[in-house]
Amino acid sequence: MNFPQQIRAEFPILDRRVDSRPLVYFDNAATSQRPSCVINLQQELCSGHNANIHRAVHTLSFEATGYYEAGRRAVQKFINAASADEIVLTSGATMSINLVAECLARGGFIGCGDGILLTEAEHHSNIVPWQIVCEHTGSHLEVVPVAAGRNGANDGSVDMAAFCAALQRGVRMVAINHVSNILGVENPIKEMVAAAHGAGVPVLIDGAQGIAHRRVDVQALDCDFYVFSGHKIYAPTGIGVLYAKREWQHRLPPFMGGGDMVGKVSFDKTTYADPPLKFEAGTANFVAGACLRPALEFAAKVMESPAQEAHTGRLISAMNEALASVDGLWVAASDARKRIPLWSFTIDGVHPLDAATLMDKFGVALRSGHMCAEPIVDRIGGGSMLRASLMPYNTLEEVEIFRETLLRTVKMLRK
């Protein structure tokens, strides 16, 4: 694959203009754009195969079910799960984490006095579900610090000594991000899983930001749960993944009750379907589920291309230089040796919301605010930051537009 021209041509939205200027879409960590293979399948399924899956014996239902289950198998292949049955399809990473948290609590795996270990740099989706569990069970959070901030180390690394020490304090669950949506730095998840398992503690990995930028092999990682959202990796919104090791699928109680998750229903007793359907109550988002197949096949092709790696390396260098050229700009985890193409930053004398609003007027889409990770953004960014996040379809020319626009914006806004 030729980078970035050939891959870019697959994304019709990248040709659009915003306020008569070419769109520079640098908000990919919020949601990525969709290639034509995904858009075409969405359209084809709606116009030719729409039906409820798993239930009826008619042709359309068989076809829809086939497409949906092909989506599940594509996930299995992409993350190298041992079996497609270990893949639960949800509405997104948020639902996947809520499912695990709620089922662990209801199943009695987390109780009064137990600890749930997180890092300081988690997304709200990997904080709040566990806080709800704490409220219901009397368990508590153990929060491990990361090296980020203006004073001291700023490489985004997790304090592994604190992590290992916390594991010895009655922790019953570890839930950590693969890559933080603020820092852009990959955590040593293999090492963290091994340490947690050494202490007899299961691990959930929030892969929402890792999945599009790092190859994931859940068997090699040996994690108990790995979650991500389709829309962060070329698929539509409204579909997500929960990889759960087979043994956990059998140990956990069902999450929601309803159609499709049952064996036999009577008023006296209801039995449940085998996993993964045990966790998939109600009518599924069949179109989005089916689109996981072209999305992940596309992602695999992109990730396996050596040209992509070189291109992303050039994007990262150019972005580092662009950010360094702005006076008074501070980047979170700027000392990281390796990062995904994601940077959160503040600029002295410029409010992030004003900057993002003005940048948009010049066609550049950035994220601003607490970015659903208030605890870390409060500590390192005063409650609000700017974030630029790129995908392999972004170009060096766009980085240059970003740099020029940022310099112009800062000049206009700085008090």
Ligand X SMILES: Cc1ncc(COP(=O)(O)O)c(C=O)c1O
**Binding residues for ligand X, per CB under 6 A?**
92-94, 123, 125-126, 177, 181, 206, 208-209, 229, 372
Minimum distance, C-beta of residue 97 to ligand X, in the bound complex (Å): 7
Tell me the angle at which helices 93-106 and 128-137 cross, rounded to the nearest 10 degrees. Answer: 20
Look up residue 173 and give its DSSP letter: E
- Catalytic residue check, 164: no
Residues paired with residue 330 on neighbouring β-strands, in sequence order: 346
Minimum distance, C-beta of residue 47 to ligand X, in the bound complex (Å): 27
Q: Tokens 């592994």 identify what position?
A: 160
Catalytic one among 103, 223, 291, 372? 372
| Helix, strand, or coil (residue 174) | strand
In the bound state with ligand X, the residue whose beta carbon lies nearer, of 126 and 139, is: 126
Single-letter amino acid, residue 143: V
In the bound state with ligand X, the residue whose beta carbon lies nearer, of 172 and 213, is: 213
In the bound state with ligand X, the residue whose beta carbon lies nearer, of 116 and 350, is: 116
Distances (CA, A) of 227 to 42, 75, 126, 232, 372: 23, 11, 10, 12, 17
Say which residues have a Cβ less than 8 Å from residue 40's Cβ, sequence separation at least 6: none
In the bound state with ligand X, the residue whose beta carbon lies nearer, of 111 and 383, is: 383
Minimum distance, C-beta of residue 75 to ligand X, in the bound complex (Å): 15
Say which residues have a Cβ less than 8 Å from residue 100's Cβ, sequence separation at least 6: 129, 204, 225, 227, 242, 244, 252
- Residue 76 near residue 87 (C-beta atoms within 8 A): yes
Minimum distance, C-beta of residue 145 to ligand X, in the bound complex (Å): 18
Token pair recorded at residue 383: 């409650």
Minimum distance, C-beta of residue 70 to ligand X, in the bound complex (Å): 22
In the bound state with ligand X, the residue whose beta carbon lies nearer, of 41 and 372, is: 372
- Residue 236 near residue 42 (C-beta atoms within 8 A): yes
Tell me the angle at which helices 396-413 and 306-324 cross, rounded to the nearest 10 degrees. Answer: 20
Distance (Å, whole) CA 389 – CA 393: 12
Q: Which active-site residues does the annotation give?
A: 372
